[in-house]
């Protein structure tokens, strides 16, 4: 059992919890705040949504120990909230609830929409609500209620609502906790989880990777080692890997907006069913020609979800023969924000392995003389198609020979 100090609805609480305890269970069982409802417990239905440091968060897949020192707001904590007062009245007026099970999470998401997207139309509201499921209403009343509140704020602005909007858009800095040596009562995994909870807010475009965040990511297991083989000499492959625009053209979904020397700015677009993200950011390449080793350090942010990512991609070349080269790729990554709530480390790692393998195939084609039209838009990463391949490999591994690391 680990001691946790946490702010919930403006009050400080100190409790003990197991490292595996999720925030939703902690709120309900330890603090008796049963307004937070647990539905699917897989981060899909949205019923358990609460605010952590002002950001909507799935409490069913967020560990309580990771919220050490953070500010959590549940549905019980909105009594004096100007936005929630308008939303509650609008939900009643538009018959936006029936059984009420999804309502706490739905209201939390609705509040985020009103504050973050003051000009949202019906299509945007429906898109933002796609992560909250309701089995009763058909959503029309919920959408109408949110649009009603948005229009109210445009017609008769509430100073308190505008103040909340300003506070949401202002940069937020969370002071890191003092580093402490982990003991038997506080294992390394818990220490890493607590340190990971102390994140500083990222700017709209992050040009540098935070070394501390990368160390936390590695401690949490967000590291992948893969390789692929290219049937070309080491010198030729090394020269190609230093051409950032050429390398980007081999990665589906990647586009380069500008580059100067070893620094580059661009976007990586990913689409998974109805969800899509475009991480815009910057990276720099550090090359060691003698060792045939390089590190690409990058960071970016999705403008829609405000999710942030940063990572180190280290690659080194190994000459297998005079005409064959192996490219070893070591990746450490950190993902923060709403999109992180949907991550599953095993599937993410399998997906990245498949993506790197496809990347290697594209490099082989480019070195073989096949070119990419420079003004042709690059497609987004097809997560759905790659995921089918990942799942098939897992299924095949149950009954036959497991896939090679480079597959």
Q: How confident is the model at residue 150 (pLDDT cuts 50, 70, 90)?
A: very high
Residue 178 has pLDDT above 90, yes or no: no
Mean pLDDT of the region 325-334: 86
Residue given tokens 């009763």 in the structure block: 136
Instruction: Note the pLDDT tens digit of each residue in 60-70.
Output: 999 999 999 99
The DSSP H or E segment spanning 15 is: strand 11-17
Give residue-wise pLDDT tens across range 216-229.
555 555 778 888 89
Distance CA 166, CA 153 (A): 14
Q: Identify which has the larger pLDDT, 129 or 340.
A: 129
Answer with the residue of higher pLDDT: 63 or 331.
63
177 or 353, which is more confident: 353
Of 56-70, 199-213, 270-284, 298-312, give the lowest mean pLDDT range. Answer: 199-213
Helix (H/G/I), strand (E/B), else coil: 272: strand
* 42 three-class SS: coil
Give the CATH fold of the 82-169 domain: DNA polymerase; domain 1 (1.10.150)
The predicted-structure confidence for 349-363, as pLDDT tens digits, reads as follows 666 777 777 888 888
pLDDT at 12 over 90: yes
Cβ-Cβ contacts under 8 Å for 270 (sequence gap 6 or more): 253, 276, 277, 278, 279, 380, 381, 383
Task: Name the residue ranges covered by the structural domains of the chain.
Answer: 2-77, 82-169, 211-399
- Dist. CA 347–CA 360, nearest whole Å: 20
Handedness of CA 401, 403, 404, 405 (dihedral sign): negative
**Positive or negative, the Cα torsion across 95, 98, 104, 108?**
negative
Asked whether the beta carbons of 352 and 344 are under 8 A apart, the reply is no
Strand order in the sheet with 49-52: 11-17, 2-8, 71-73, 49-52, 55-58
Task: Return the higher-pLDDT residue of 296 and 35.
Answer: 35
Between CA 331 and CA 341 the distance in angstroms is: 20
Is the predicted pLDDT of residue 399 greater than 80, yes or no?
Answer: no
Supply angle C-alpha 74, 75, 81, rounded to 5. Answer: 100
Q: What is the mean pLDDT of the chain?
A: 78
239-281: pLDDT as tens digits: 988 887 888 778 767 788 887 877 888 887 766 545 566 778 8
pLDDT-derived band at 210, boundaries 50, 70, 90 = low
pLDDT for 123 equals 92
Least confidently predicted of 82-91, 186-195, 241-250, 344-353: 186-195
Task: Classify domain 211-399 by CATH architecture.
Answer: 2-Layer Sandwich (3.30)
CA quadruple 101, 44, 335, 26: dihedral positive or negative? Answer: positive
Please report the pLDDT score of residue 356 as a whole number: 78
Q: Which residue, among 226, 222, 225, 224, has the nearest Cα to 357 in the 3D structure?
A: 226
Class of the CATH domain delimited by 2-77: alpha beta
Out of 176-180, 317-321, 352-356, pick the least confident.
176-180
Question: Once rounded to an integer, what is the mean pLDDT over residues 160-182?
Answer: 63
The tokens describing 128, both together, are 């933002």
């Amino acid at each position: 059992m680990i001691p946790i100090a946490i702010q919930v609805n403006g009050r400080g609480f100190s409790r003990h919890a197991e490292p595996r305890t999720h925030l939703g269970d902690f709120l309900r069982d330890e603090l008796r705040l049963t307004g937070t409802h647990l539905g699917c417990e897989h981060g899909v239905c949205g019923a358990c949504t609460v605010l952590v440091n002002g950001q909507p968060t799935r409490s069913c897949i967020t560990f309580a120990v990771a919220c050490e020192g953070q500010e959590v707001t549940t549905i019980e904590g909105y009594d004096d909230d100007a936005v929630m007062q308008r939303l509650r009245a609008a939900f009643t007026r538009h018959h936006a609830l029936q059984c009420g099970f999804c309502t706490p999470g739905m209201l939390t998401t609705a509040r985020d929409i009103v504050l973050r997207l003051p000009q949202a139309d019906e299509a945007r509201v429906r898109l933002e609500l796609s992560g909250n499921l309701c089995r009763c209403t058909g959503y029309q009343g919920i959408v109408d209620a949110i649009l009603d509140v948005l229009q109210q704020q445009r017609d008769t602005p509430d100073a308190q609502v505008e103040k909340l909007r300003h506070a949401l858009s202002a940069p937020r800095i969370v002071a890191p906790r003092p580093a402490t040596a982990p003991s038997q009562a506080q294992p390394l995994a818990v220490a890493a989880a607590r340190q990971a909870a102390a994140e500083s807010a990222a700017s709209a475009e992050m040009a540098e990777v935070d070394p501390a965040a990368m160390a936390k990511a590695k401690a949490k297991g967000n590291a992948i080692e893969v390789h692929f083989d290219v049937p070309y000499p080491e010198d030729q492959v090394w020269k190609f890997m230093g051409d950032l625009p050429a390398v980007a053209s081999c990665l589906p979904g990647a586009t380069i907006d500008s580059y100067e020397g070893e620094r580059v700015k661009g976007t990586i677009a990913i689409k998974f069913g109805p969800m899509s993200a475009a991480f815009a950011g910057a990276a720099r390449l550090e090359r060691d020609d003698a060792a045939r080793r390089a590190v690409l350090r990058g960071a970016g942010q999705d403008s829609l979800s405000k999710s942030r990512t940063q990572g180190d991609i280290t690659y080194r070349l190994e000459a297998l023969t005079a005409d064959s080269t192996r490219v070893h790729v070591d990746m450490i990554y950190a993902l923060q924000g709403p999109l992180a709530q949907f991550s599953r480390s095993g599937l993410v790692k399998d997906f990245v392995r498949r993506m790197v393998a496809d990347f290697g195939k594209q490099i082989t084609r480019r070195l073989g003389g096949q070119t990419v039209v420079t003004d042709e838009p690059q497609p987004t990463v097809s997560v759905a198609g790659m995921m089918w391949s990942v799942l098939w490999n897992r299924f095949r591994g149950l009954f036959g020979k497991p896939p090679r690391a480079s597959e």
